[in-house]
Amino acid sequence: MSEAFDKLKAMLAEKGTLTDEEIANAVKEHGEMTAEENTWLSAEIHEKKRSDETTVTMDQYLEAMKTLDSAAEGSDEYKKAEEIVNKFESGG
């Protein structure tokens, strides 16, 4: 494994994400990574982003639907419930 890869892997584990600038700086400072290392790093960053997104459960969806029926349209409560419903219905 390259030194840049080891450094970036440790940073990813610590921070949970990496910016393009952090990657570029590590490569500049420690040398190039192999294609496999680049692929692995990109996949891990993507996976961490996906796992950080919250999934809406059926219970949350049903509760949000009740809120949409009872809350005043345009209120904060209504908007939050609408976001939950939209996310659930779009597969989130």
Domain count, the chain: 2
* Cβ–Cβ < 8 Å for 70, 87: no
Per cent of the chain over pLDDT 70 is: 95
62 shares a domain with 48: no
pLDDT tens profile 25-34: 999 999 999 9
pTM for the predicted model, two decimal places: 0.56
9 lies in the same domain as 29: yes
Q: Which amino acid belongs to residue 37?
A: E
Distance CA 7, CA 29 (A): 10
User: Averaging pLDDT over each range in 7-11, 12-16, 46-50, which range is the top one?
Assistant: 7-11
Higher pLDDT, 50 or 39: 39
- Residues 40, 77, single domain; the answer is no
38 shares a domain with 9: yes
Residues 44 and 69 in one domain: no
**Domain residues for 23?**
3-52
